[in-house]
């Protein structure tokens, strides 16, 4: 009788320990998710700040971007620099889109990103034609998002 009661208490203790372990794992996973979101946000912020700083600190590149965006002619070398800069922007935007779809970027922040992207791509005289030439290089979901932002200017 004592043996059965002791076994019952031991089983109950073991089950309680397992339950506590599961609760602790859930808490740790939740903390890891929050940490991953913070890390992702930091890395993405760092990326765009570096890209913007590069343009701001390079007068020639800033001039190329401004002239391209208002529709001025560019030399072949300038056009290549503009295209490389645009590719960097598009890859950053595609990453934002991907991170949002994965749940690592929240909706309000993503909507602000879309507003910023839309503001630029609809301001730039050169972007829509460049996008039409290169959109096949990007994920279909991202391409649909950019096309939606371009509206009437979409290819």
Mean pLDDT computed over 102-116: 89
Worst-scoring range by mean pLDDT, 19-23, 130-134, 138-142, 144-148? 19-23
Look at residue 116 and tell me if it is in a domain.
Answer: yes
Percent of the chain with pLDDT over 90: 54
Look at residue 1 and tell me if it is in a domain.
Answer: no
Are 142 and 97 spatial neighbours (Cβ–Cβ below 8 Å)?
Answer: yes
For residue 155, pLDDT beyond 80:
yes
pTM of the model: 0.73
Look at residue 4 and tell me if it is in a domain.
Answer: no
Look at residue 31 and tell me if it is in a domain.
Answer: no
**Max mean pLDDT range (41-45, 91-95, 101-105):** 91-95
Look at residue 14 and tell me if it is in a domain.
Answer: no
Look-up: residue for tokens 């993503």?
110
As a whole number of Å, the end-to-end CA separation of the chain is 82
Mean pLDDT computed over 7-20: 82
Report residue 105: phi and psi, to 5°.
Answer: -135, 125
Number of separate domains in the chain = 1
Look at residue 16 and tell me if it is in a domain.
Answer: no
Look-up: residue for tokens 């740790």?
28
Percent of the chain with pLDDT over 70: 99
Q: Is the dihedral of CA 118, 119, 125, 126 positive or negative?
A: negative
Look at residue 23 and tell me if it is in a domain.
Answer: no
Instruction: Domain of residue 120: give its range.
Output: 40-153
For residue 75, pLDDT beyond 70:
yes
Look at residue 25 and tell me if it is in a domain.
Answer: no
For residue 32, pLDDT beyond 90:
no
Q: Residue 132: what pLDDT? A: 94
């Amino acid at each position: 009788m004592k043996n059965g009661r002791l076994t019952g208490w031991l089983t109950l203790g073991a089950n309680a320990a397992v339950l506590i372990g599961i609760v602790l794992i859930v808490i740790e996973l939740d903390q890891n998710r929050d940490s991953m979101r913070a890390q992702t946000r930091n890395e993405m912020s760092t990326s765009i700040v570096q890209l913007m700083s590069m343009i701001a600190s390079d007068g020639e590149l800033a001039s190329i971007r401004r002239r391209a965006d208002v529709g001025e002619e560019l030399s072949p070398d300038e056009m290549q620099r503009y295209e490389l800069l645009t590719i960097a922007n598009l890859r950053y935007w595609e990453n934002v889109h991907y991170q949002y779809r994965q749940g690592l970027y929240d909706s309000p922040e993503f909507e602000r990103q879309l507003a910023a992207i839309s503001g630029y791509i609809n301001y730039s005289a050169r972007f829509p034609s460049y996008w039409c030439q290169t959109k096949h290089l990007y994920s279909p979901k991202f391409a649909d998002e950019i096309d939606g932002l371009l509206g009437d200017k979409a290819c």
